[in-house]
Structure 1
Amino acid sequence: MSQPTLRNAPGTIQLLQRAVFDGYDFGLKMPYLEGANRLLTSRGGTFIRRGEHPLSGYWRLPQRRLLEDLDVLFHQLGELADGRFVQDWSGFSRKIADAQADVRRDLFIWGMRLRIAPLSSGGVVLSGDYHPGCVAVAKRMQGLFLSTSRAWRVPASAELLRSNLILELGLLEEQFEMLDVLQELLSDGSVSAARDVTAMSIGGPPQERSAASADEDCAADIYLAAVPDIAKTSWTLQAIEAELKPYSLMSHQPAGIRHLLQRTSALLADDMGLGKSRQAVIAAGIQSAGRQILVVVLASLVINWEREIQAVYPDARIARQRYQADAQWVIVNYERLGDFVALADQFAVMIIDEAHRLKEPTAAWTRNGFDIAAKVPNRYLLTGTPVLNRESELHTLLRLSGHPIGQLPLKDFCERFAGSSEFRQGLRAEIGDWMLRRRKDVLPDLKGKQRQTVPVVLNEAQQVEYNAIRNADQPVFARLGRLRQLLERVKVPVVMELLGELDPEDKVILFCEYKETVMTLKQLCEAAGSGCVTLVGTDSLMKRQKAIDRFQQDADCRVFVGTTSAAGTGNNLTAANYVFFLGLPWTPGLQDQAEDRAYRNGQRRLVVVKIPLVENSIDLQLWQMLQDKRRIAQDLTDPDADADADADADAVRQAQQQLARVVAA
C-alpha cells in the first residue's frame, strides 16, 4: 500500500498536534474531526474528558491497536479531514516514533487508586483502577486474574507488590490503600441450580453465545474480609428490660431489640412495615453507649433514617454522607462505603438496612461492607426480603455476620441447603437463632391485603407488534426488554379505566418498570383532573421526599406513580389503599416490598393489589416464575405461609378462566 499524504491547507493546524507514550498506551492530541471518534474507539481508544486530568482532551490508545495499521488509520483520518489540516505521512509517523523513544511511565496514572489486601491463604489481592502496567506487573509476579472480582491474586507480600507498581508506573504511595484486614477466597458458586423455578422463554431466533476470553489465565474466585465469629453478648433479659423502659414500643418490638442486643451480629427479617429501623436504632443506641454508629442505607432513604433516629433521640448528632468526629450517628449509602473503610474502627455498631443488597459477593459495595464489618464489633442486618431469588443469597449475609454456616465454601453451602424444600428446611433450622422474622399478623389493626389479577388481551395490531419483537434478530435480553415495554404501554389504558372506577377517597400507587410509562401516566392523570406525583431514579432526595409528603398529606393528590426500583423500597405510602403493577419486577421480594409501601404499620384500610396480566405473553411466565421463587423464600423465612402462594396460584387460574370467558363472548 502506498504511503498516504494529506493535501496542504492554507491553515497551519496539524492533524496530530502531539503524541506521548508510557510504554503501554499512546496519548494523541488532535483537533476535533467529525467521525474520528468512531475510528479511534474501534481501536480501543478512549477520550480523556476530565478537565483536571493533565492529558485532558487527548485520545488514549493501546500500543498494539494503534501501530498494527497506523498507515491505514492515517489514510482514514485524511479522508475525514478533506484537506483542512496540514500533515503528511512522514510528519505523522515521526511524531509517533518520537513518542516511543521518550517513554514517560506516569502519563496515565493521574487519579488512579489501587487496593492491596492480604489473603489468609497467602499472597495478596490487587484491585482498583485498570492500567495495563498493573496487569504486566501482576503477570510477572505469577499473578492469577480473578475474573469474577476483576482483581489479581499475587503470591507475594503487599510491600513487594506496591514497590514493583511504584517502580513500573511512578505511582505515589498515597494512591494505594493497604488493607490490614485478612481476606479469604471463595469459590464462586453463586448461581445454584434452579430446578424449582419456571424458566422464561420468549421464543424467536436463537442467539450465539459469546466464547469465554482466552487471552489470560483467570480464576472465578472472589475475596471478602474475614469477619469475626458471631458471639453472645453479656446482655441479660433483666438488663435489657430495664434499658427499654423509657421507650414507647409496639408489643412485638422488644423481642426484636433483645434479638439484636444478645448477639454481636444478627439478622432482623421482620415483614415490611413492622418497624425494623426503630428496633435497630434503639438497640444500637443502647449497645453503643455513646460511641459512634454507622448506618448503611439506600441513597433514597438517607432522610428517612435521619428522621427515624431523631424520632427516638431528638438531640442526636447525625452526619449524612460524610464522617464527623463529633457525630454519634453517621448515615451513608452503599455506593460511598469505600470512603469509610479506613474509618471502620471508629464505630461500635454497624446497621445495614436493606441488607439483601449485599447478596452479590462480587459487588464493590459488598467488598467494602465486609472490610468495614471486619473491624466493627456489633453488626445488625435488616431486611424484609433476605432471599430474593435463590438460597445462596443468604450465604453472604451469614458470612457477614460471622455465622458458622457462612464459613462453608459457597459450593458446599449450595449442595447442602439449595435445590429442594427439604434442604431449605434444614437451613432454616440451622439459622433459627440468627434470623428473627415476624409477619404482619402481629399488627392487629391491619385489615389485610388482597392480590387480584386483571386479564388483558392484545388487539390485532398489538399482537403483530409483539410477534415482530419476539422474532426479531436481536439478543434475547434486548427482545425481552422491548416486550416488557410494549406490555406496559398496552396496560396504560386498562389502568386508567380502573382508576376511573375508584371511589373519591381512594388513593393508589402505580408501579412501572420504565420511566417512559411513568411520564405517560402522569400526563393522563393530570388531564383527567387527578392529583398526581411521580418518583423515578433520577429524582433528587429532596424531590423524592416532597412527592412522598404531598401524597401522604394532600387529600387532592390521589395518584403516586413511580418505578419499582426507585419507589418500591423504604418509603411510607400508607395513604394509598390500592397498588397497581403495570410491570412486574424480577423477584417476589421486590414485588412484596413495593406492595408494602401501603401495607404497613399505620394503614387502616384493606389494601388491594391489582396486577394486569396479558394473555399469551411473557407476563404469565413471569408471574409463574415469581410464584416459584416465592415458594423458595417461604421455605426459608415463612414456613407457614403456603396459603399465600396457593392464593396467588388461584389468582392466575381465575384470571385465565375469566379471560377465556371474555374471549368466548
Structure 2
Amino acid sequence: MSRPRLMNRRPELLGNAIFDGYDFGLQLQFVEGANRLLLERDGFYMRRSEHPLYRYWRLPKGKLLAELDLLFHSLIELVDGRYAESWKSFCQKLEAAQASPDRQAFTWGLVFRIAPLAHGGILLSGDYHPGMVAVARRMRGIFLGQSRSWRIDASAELVRSNLILELGLSEEQFEILDTVQELLSDGTVAPVESITRISLGGPAQEQVAKASEDETSADVYLAAVPSIERTEYTDAQIEKALLSYSLLDHQPAGIRHLLQRTSALLADDMGLGKTRQAVIAAAIRAGDRPILVVTLSSLLINWQREIQVVYPDAVVALQVFDALAKWMVINYERLGDYVLQADHFVVMVIDEAHRLKEPTAMWTRHGFDIAAKVPSRYLLTGTPVLNRETELHTLLRLSGHPVGQLPLKEFCEQFAGSPEFRKDLRDAIGDWMLRRRKDVLPGLKGKQRQTLSVALSEEERRQYDRIRLEDRPIFARLGALRQFLEQVKVRVIMELLAELDIEDKVILFCEFKETVSTLRELCEVAGYGCVTLMGSDSLAKRQKAIDKFQADPDPRVFIGTTSAAGTGNNLTAANYVMFLGLPWTPGLQDQAEDRAYRNGQLRLVVVKIPLVENTIDQKLWQMLLDKRQLAQDLIEPDPVTESKAALAETLVACATAWT
C-alpha cells in the first residue's frame, strides 16, 4: 500500500544553513518583524540576485550563537505557527553546517588590493571579510583606520598565498601593484620618488618617518644552494651532441651556456626558444635520470608538447610524482609537494624564474629547498628585472652565484640606485646570464609601438572626475579609474578593428575581465570571429582557444586578460596587438606583446596603445618608460644598443588624435 501524501504540510522556517568558519548563512522564510532581530545581531541580507546565496541572511558566528535560544524563540513567536521548526531541527541544521564548512561561501565578488611599500612590507585593502582580518592578524599586521587597510611586513606573494589558502580565492580576485609605494601619513600610498607618481588630487600628504634599522630586518631564511661550478663539457663535445638536432643559429650557444655551468640564467627575449634550448640541455645533462620542470599553470601543456616534439617517446608526468617518468612538470604552487623528493632529480629547470624574486614567498622557500639538493639548476626568464635591481638578488642566490651570497643591504649599496652601479652589476653577472635580442632571428620583420591619444567626452570627463575625487582610499580609486578608462577605450578599439584588413589578426589585452566580456559581445555583433582567455578558464579551455586562433582563419580577434594570456602562449597568427589597459611593469607588457612577436611570425607586428589625455593613463605610461630604462641598464649588452633602442622607441611613439 502506497504511503499517503501529506497535504498542506507547513514549510520549515530554516530552509538551509551554511558556514564558512566565520559567518553563518541562513535561508529563512519571510517573517514580519524578523529583520529587526537579525539586524540587531549584525545580520546582512543578500539582496543581489547574482549572488550564489541570494536571499540568505549572513550573521557572524559569535553574534548568532551567543543568544541562539533567544533568537529562535523570538522568531517562533513571530511565526505564529505558519512554519514548522523545532529547536532540535534548528540546531541540527546549524551543527551540520559547522561540521562541513564552505570557506568560499561568502567570497563571491570580493576583491583585495596589495601594494608593496618602499621600506618593507605591503598594504592590504579591499572588501571586508573576517578571514582577511584573521590572516592579517596572524601575520602581525597593523590596521590603518583612516584608509581601512592593513600594513603587513611580508611580500605580496606571501600575503596573497595565505589569503588563497584561507579563503579559496582565485587570482582574479587580487589587484597587485608591482610599483614600489610609499605609505603616507593618512594611510594612503603613492609611487616612490624615483618612479613617476600617479596623483589623484586632494591635499598634500606628509610622508611617514622611515622605520629604523633596529625595527626591521631583511634577513630571510633560505636553504643554502651549492656554488656555481664549471662542468666537464667542452665546446667540441657539445657540438657533437647537437648534430642530430634541428636548431636555429643562435640556439646552440644557449644550450652550451647552460651545459657548461651547474647553474645559469638564460634571459633571451621572448620568442627565441628558451624552452627548446632548456629541454635539450636538460636532457643531455640528465642522461637517463629524472628532470623537474617548474613553470606557470598556464604553460604546463606547452612544456609537455615541447618536450615531446624533441623527444616523442619521452614519459612526461604533469602535476604528479611518477618515479618512472623522466620529466616531471609542475607549477609553482606544487613546489612544496616535491621538497621530500628533491634528491630524485639531477636537473631542475625553472621557467619564468622572475616569479621567485620575493624571498619570503612560500614557493620561493620551497624552490630553494629543492635547488639545494639538485646538482644542475637552469633558470629561464625573458624579464629578469621587472621593477628594481634587488629582484636579481634572489635569482643569483638560487643559482649559487657569489654576488647572490652578499647580504641584501651590501648588494644594494654596491649595485643599486644609479646607471653606473647597474653597469657594475651587469659586468659582475655577465658570465652567468646570457641574453639575446630578437635581431638574431633574420625572419622577423620587426615590431612597432604606436601610442594613440584619446579624448574623453564631457560626460566621460565628469564620470572620471567623480571617481577620482570619491571618498575612498587612493588604491580603490586607482583601480576604479583604470577599469573606467578600459571601458572608454572599447569604442576606440572597435574603430581600429573596423580598419583592419581581412587577413589581419589581433590580440586585445585587458586588465579587467569585465572588459573582455564587453569586447566579446561587441565583436560577435560586428561579425568578428573571436576567442577569449581569462584566469578562470581551465587549462583545456585555454589551449582550445589558442589552437583555434592559430589554426582557424575565422577567429580574427583574441581577447584576454594580461595576467592570464600575457605569458607563454604562441599567438603568431596575430600581426596586431592592442592594449586597453597597461600592466604595471614593462616586462609584463613586453611578454604580452611578444605572444605575437616571436619565432614563426612572418609579418611586421604593430602594437597600438591608446592613452587617454589628462588622466592616469599618461602617468602610468611614463612610469613604464622609467622602469624600462632601469631594466635596460641591467640587461642590455652595450650602451650603443641601448641608445638605438631608446631612439627607435621615441620615433615610433607617434600620437594620432582620436576624438
Q: TM-score, normalised to structure 1's length?
A: 0.72
Aligned to 1:235: 233
Tell me the distance in 2 between the aligned counterparts of 1:273 and 1:593.
Answer: 9
- Of residues 131, 137, 154, the one that matches 1:148 is 154
Q: Residue 590 of structure 1 aligns with which residue?
A: 588
Structure 1 partner of 2:560: 562
User: Which ranges of structure 1 fall in alignment gaps of 5 or more residues?
Assistant: 1-10, 16-25, 43-58, 86-90, 96-106, 112-128, 139-145, 151-189
Residues 254 and 266 of structure 2 are in contact (CA less than 8 Å); yes or no, is this contact kept in structure 1? yes
Report if aligned partners of 1:148, 1:220 keep a CA contact under 8 Å in 2: no
Gaps of 5+ in 2: 1-9, 15-20, 30-34, 44-58, 81-86, 92-98, 104-130, 141-151, 157-179, 183-190
Greater alpha carbon shift after TM alignment, 288-297 vs 202-211:
202-211
Amino acid at match of 1:610: K
Cross-structure match for 2:357: 359
Q: CA deviation at 1:236?
A: 1.3
- CA deviations on 1:248-296 (whole Å, 9 max, x unpaired) are 1111001100100111110000000000000000000000011110000
C-alpha displacement of 1:79: 6.8
Structure 1 residues 79 and 358: alpha-carbon distance in aligned structure 2, compared to 1, 3 A threshold:
farther
- 2:366 matched residue in structure 1: 368
In structure 2, the partner of 1:124 is none
Report the counterpart of residue 245 of structure 1 in structure 2: 243
1:545 aligns with 543
CA RMSD of aligned residues (A): 4.3
In 2, are the aligned partners of 1:33 and 1:80 still within 8 Å (CA)?
no
Cα separation, 1, equivalents of 2:575 and 2:513? 23
Corresponding residue of 2:443: 445
Q: 1:338 aligns with which of 314, 328, 336?
A: 336
**Shift of residue 66 of structure 1?**
11
Aligned AA (2:643): D
**Partner Cα separation in structure 2 for residue 547 and residue 281 of structure 1:** 25
Residue 273 (structure 1) aligned with residue 274 (structure 2):
no
Deviation for aligned residue 1:222: 2.7
Go from structure 1 to structure 2 and tell me whether the alpha carbon gap of 1:433 and 1:474 turns closer, same or farther (over 3 Å shift).
same
How many Å apart are 1:643 and its aligned residue? 2.8
The CA deviation at 1:453 is: 0.8
Match of 1:460 among 458, 463, 487: 458
Give the letter aligned to residue 458 of structure 1: L
Q: Give the superposition deviation at 1:198.
A: 1.4
1:257-268 equivalent positions in 2, closer than 5 A = 257-268=255-266
Q: How many residues align?
A: 540
SS at match of 1:388: coil
1:645 maps to a residue whose letter is A
2:514 maps to 1:516 = yes
Q: Provide Cα deviations, 1:407-465, integer angstroms capped at 9, x if missing partner.
A: 11112211211111111001000000000000000000100000011110000000000
Q: CA offsets, 1:226-246, max 9 Å, x none?
A: 111111111111211121111
Q: Structure 1's 28 and 319: CA in aligned 2 closer, same or farther, altered over 3 A?
A: closer
- Please state if 1:392 is matched with 2:390: yes
Distance, in Å, in 2 between the alignment partners of 1:29 and 1:481 is 31
Pair 191,338 (structure 1): closer, same or farther in 2 beyond 3 Å: farther
**Structure 1 position 632 matched with structure 2 position 630:** yes
Question: How far off its partner does 1:32 sit?
Answer: 6.8
Preserved contact between residue 24 and residue 61 of structure 2 (Cα < 8 Å): no
For the 8 Å contact 1:306–1:318, the answer to whether it is kept is yes
Report the identity percentage.
64
- Per the alignment, residue 405 of structure 2 pairs with 407
1:202 Cα deviation (Å)?
Answer: 1.9
Q: Which residue of 1 aligns with 2:646?
A: 645
Preserved contact between residue 347 and residue 377 of structure 2 (Cα < 8 Å): yes
In structure 2, what is the equivalent of residue 324 of structure 1?
A: 322
Paired residue secondary structure (1:474) = coil
Could you tell me whether the CA contact under 8 Å between 2:467 and 2:480 is conserved in 1? yes
CA distance in structure 2 between the partners assigned to 1:252 and 1:269 by the alignment? 13
TM-score of the two chains, using structure 2 as the length reference:
0.73
Pairwise CA distance, 1:651: 5.1
Matching residue's letter, 2:288: G
More deviation in 517-526 or 191-200?
Answer: 191-200
SS at match of 1:225: coil
C-alpha displacement at 1:338, in angstroms?
1.1
SS in 1 for 2:221: strand
Contact 1:574–1:603 (CA<8 Å) still a contact in 2?
yes
Q: Once the two structures are superposed, what CA deviation does each residue of 1:129-158 show, in whole Å capped at 9, x if it has no partner?
A: 99x9xx99x9xxxxxxx95379xxxxxxxx
1:97-112 matches, within 5 Å, as none
* Partner in structure 2 of residue 479 of structure 1: 477
C-alpha distance in structure 2 between counterparts of 1:581 and 1:349, whole Å? 38
- Kept in 1, the 8 Å contact 2:396–2:403? The answer is yes
C-alpha contact 2:265 2:433 (8 A) present in aligned 1: yes
Q: Equivalent residue for 1:47?
A: none
The 5 A counterparts of 1:402-441 are 402-441=400-439
> CA 1:284 to 1:494, structure 2 compared with 1: closer, same or farther past 3 Å?
same
Residue 42 of structure 2 contacts residue 60 of structure 2 at CA under 8 Å; is this kept in 1? no
Amino acid at match of 2:228: I
How far is 1:307 from its partner?
Answer: 0.4
Give deviations 1:572-607, integer Å, cap 9, x for gaps. 000110000010000000000000000000001100
Q: Distance in 2 between matches of 1:564 and 1:507?
A: 18
Q: Distance in 2 between matches of 1:357 and 1:391?
A: 15
CA distance in 2, matches of 1:237, 1:37: 77
- Residue 306 of structure 2 is matched in structure 1 by 308
Shift of the 388–340 alpha-carbon distance from structure 1 to 2, 3 Å rule, reads same
CA contact (8 A) 2:222 2:368 kept: yes
The answer to whether structure 1 residue 291 and structure 2 residue 285 are counterparts is: no
Give SS of 1:601's match. Answer: coil
Instruction: Please report how far the alpha carbon of residue 356 of structure 1 lies from its aligned counterpart in structure 2 after TM superposition.
Output: 0.7
1:282 maps to 280
Task: Evaluate the alpha carbon distance shift between residue 208 and residue 31 of structure 1 in structure 2; reply closer, same or farther with a 3 A threshold.
Answer: farther
Q: Distance in 2 between the 1:27 and 1:366 partners?
A: 30
- Equivalent residues of 2:155, 2:358 under 8 A apart: no
Which amino acid in 2 is paired with 1:440?
Answer: K
Distance change >3 Å, CA 81–CA 382, structure 1 → 2: farther
